[in-house]
Amino acid sequence: MKEAFKIGSLMAEQGEKVSGYLPIINTEVEIPITLINGRNEGKTILICGGVHNAEYVGIQSAIELAEELDPENVNGNIIVIRLLNRSGFEHRTMSLVYEDGKNINRVFPGSALGTLADKIAYTMESEIYPRIDYYIDLHCGDGYEALVPYVYCLGVASDYVVETSRKMAEVMDVDYLVVSNVDRGGAYNYAGALGIPSILLERGCKGTWNRELVEEDKHDVKNLLAFLGILDGEVQKKKGVPKEVNPVTYEDAPATGCWYPSFQVGETFKEGEILGVIKDYFGKELYTCLAKHDGIMLYQTISLCIMEDTPMVAYGTWDTNKE
């Protein structure tokens, strides 16, 4: 008989689904999770929504996946974190934890003795990561961001983790793929450093969600579960795999002011073209952002407000000879 699957005070027996709250270590905060203990033996995967609490497509997708996945069709175990940054969600703080103003994706591995964001990351590391074999992190553009759908996979980890993450990413039905060049900071990056193949899916933006985008997210996740053998069913074929975008340039704003982007996400441009301008409140130019190479705009800030040392643009290019 397959063993019971337990995290915190929640326990799912073989063929059972259990939902409830996981306490964040050394706090009174609890996050909503679902445990699915499949009918058959197999691997364990984490599906996480709400690392950034206004990225609603990923959150709603996680909520619906937790409801729809049937233990009878599962081989192994599935953990669904429906909403990681609960306090930020309930206070509409966009990417930040309400109590400390920190971005969870910038504090891993966290600390049991830090502020709430640190403790959330520490709880992930100590309570969740030791139990999983794979991780898919569901994101989208926050309230001030626009982006094209794309997927990140790990690039700085063991050969097995890098290769497996790449295969997982190629299952996603998106146009572009970005290989991460860091092994710390983000939840999925840190999982990779611990030996867990992980990907991060970006779909949707501007702090909104709709039925079409949620269905696309759920389709991709279920297809990945089938690919990994965790969910019964055939892997649905696609026309091709996402184009790898490399190099990718990330630029933070060097000044606070008003931001005037020149391109829409998904549009292409040439080296040296103006990607946007930051002006002060009297219209004086503070900074002109020039493209360092030909590329496509993956994501950018779209709010009029832009703050120093916060994300401004991310763009990249691909090998057109492979098209």
Portions of the chain given CATH number 3.40.630.10: 5-227
What is the rounded CA–CA span in Å between residue 280 and residue 303? 14
Confirm if 312 and 262 have CB atoms less than 8 A apart. Answer: no
Looking at residue 9, the DSSP 8-state letter turns out to be T
What is residue 317's predicted lDDT score, i.e. its pLDDT?
95
Q: Please report how many Cα atoms fall inside a 13 Å half-sphere around the Cα of residue 236, on the Cβ side.
A: 10
Per-residue pLDDT of the chain (323 residues; tens, 9 = 90+): 899 999 999 999 999 999 999 999 999 999 999 999 999 999 999 999 999 999 999 999 999 999 999 999 999 999 999 999 999 999 999 889 999 999 999 999 999 999 999 999 999 999 999 999 999 999 999 999 999 999 999 999 999 999 999 999 999 999 999 999 988 779 999 999 999 999 999 999 999 999 999 999 999 999 999 999 999 999 987 778 899 999 999 999 999 999 999 999 999 999 999 999 999 999 999 999 999 999 999 999 999 999 999 999 999 998 765 65
Looking at residue 186, the DSSP 8-state letter turns out to be S
What is residue 183's predicted lDDT score, i.e. its pLDDT?
80
Q: Which residues pair with 35 in a beta bridge?
A: 18, 79
Backbone angles phi, psi at 313, to 5 degrees: -145, 155
What is residue 264's predicted lDDT score, i.e. its pLDDT?
97
Q: Which fold has domain 246-322?
A: OB fold (Dihydrolipoamide Acetyltransferase, E2P) (2.40.50)
Portions of the chain given CATH number 2.40.50.100: 246-322
Class (C level, CATH) for 5-227: alpha beta
